[in-house]
């Protein structure tokens, strides 16, 4: 397993991501049939739903890293939690924007305040948007990392609870994905799953890329500090 993981490099991961995403969207546009109810505009589903799924899972991954950070005190877990939240917030912004465009095209409105799905996702997004100001309000690096971990765990626990609450609530206009009898037809489901895999790979690639950049920046800082100490 460790040997297999060591063979994965950022370049290989990026190539795999592009290939899977290209295959997924080719399937979505040329293989999956048009939705009988919504027509062509339903193609936004293959972007919007994988983005939302990966963003919410990403917040939970951040919570797992935060737990590991509090258990071990290893700063790498704090860095992983930080980057996971960063990429998931970007994906969350994309979910809100693509959802608003889909809503305008389908329902004629950009936003519906009475729809639990929309409002709950906005609450989760705004909750995580406060992670950065809260984190940088603490100056001491160790305390900053500990407080950020506590935040990531608390907010991470809120994500599945929020998801469950929305499932139990009465839908107004937003459909509950995969909850209706029968679900998606096979070809649509296959295209969706490939898009979901591609989006998950994109999330992992961006995490890897940002962690590499953070590591390089940290190493440079250490060299600079060591040189300054001898000057």
Partner 1 sequence: MTPLLAIESAELYVAGAYLVFLLLLLIYVAIMAAKLQRIQRELRSLAEFAESPRGRRDLGRVREREGRIESAREGAQR
Per rule CB under 8 A, is residue 136 in the interface with partner 1?
Answer: no
Q: Count of CB atoms within 10 A of residue 16's CB? A: 16
Report d(CA 10, CA 24) in Å as an integer. Answer: 21
Report d(CA 46, CA 164) in Å as an integer. Answer: 22
Say how many CA atoms lie within 13 Å of 99 toward its Cβ: 21
Per rule CB under 8 A, is residue 122 in the interface with partner 1?
Answer: no
Which part of the chain contacts partner 1 (CB under 8 A), choosing from 98-106, 116-124, 156-164, 179-187?
98-106
Which part of the chain contacts partner 1 (CB under 8 A), choosing from 6-14, 110-118, 182-190, 214-222?
214-222
Q: Which residues of 22-60 are buried (b: 16+ CB within 10 A; e: fewer)?
A: ebbbebbeeebeeeeeeeeebbbbbbbbbbbbbbbbbbb
* Closer CB to partner 1, 183 or 221, in the complex: 221
User: Nearest distance from residue 227's CB to partner 1, in Å?
Assistant: 6
* Closer CB to partner 1, 162 or 198, in the complex: 198
Which part of the chain contacts partner 1 (CB under 8 A), choosing from 101-109, 115-123, 137-145, 148-156?
101-109
Per rule CB under 8 A, is residue 176 in the interface with partner 1?
Answer: no
> Are the CB atoms for 196 and 204 separated by under 8 Å?
no
Report d(CA 209, CA 14) in Å as an integer. Answer: 9
Residues in the chain: 231
Residues numbered 61 to 90 that lie near partner 1 (CB under 8 A) are 90
Residues that bind partner 1 (CB under 8 A): 39-41, 43-44, 47-48, 51, 90, 93-94, 97-98, 101-102, 104-105, 206, 209-210, 213, 216-217, 220, 223-224, 226-227, 229-231
């Amino acid at each position: 397993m460790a040997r297999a993981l060591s063979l994965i490099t950022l370049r290989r991961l990026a190539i795999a991501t592009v290939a899977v995403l290209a295959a997924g969207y080719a399937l979505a546009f040329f293989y999956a049939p048009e939705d009988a109810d919504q027509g062509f505009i339903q193609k936004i589903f293959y972007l919007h739903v994988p983005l939302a799924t990966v963003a919410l899972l990403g917040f939970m991954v951040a919570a797992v890293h935060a737990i590991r950070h509090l258990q071990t005190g290893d700063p790498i877990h704090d860095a992983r939690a930080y980057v996971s939240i960063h990429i998931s917030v970007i994906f969350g912004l994309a979910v809100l924007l693509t959802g608003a465009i889909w809503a305008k095209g389908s329902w004629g409105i950009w936003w519906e305040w009475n729809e639990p799905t929309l409002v709950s996702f906005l609450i989760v997004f705004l909750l995580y948007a406060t992670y950065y100001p809260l984190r940088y309000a603490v100056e001491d690096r160790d305390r900053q990392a500990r407080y950020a971990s506590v935040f990531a765990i608390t907010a991470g626990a809120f994500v599945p609870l929020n998801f469950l609450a929305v499932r139990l609530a009465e839908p107004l206009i937003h459909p509950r994905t995969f909850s209706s009898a029968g679900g998606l037809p096979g070809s649509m489901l296959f295209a969706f799953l490939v898009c979901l895999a591609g989006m998950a790979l994109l999330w992992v690639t961006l995490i890897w890329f940002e962690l590499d950049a953070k590591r390089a920046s940290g190493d440079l800082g250490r060299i600079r500090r060591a040189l300054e100490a001898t000057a």
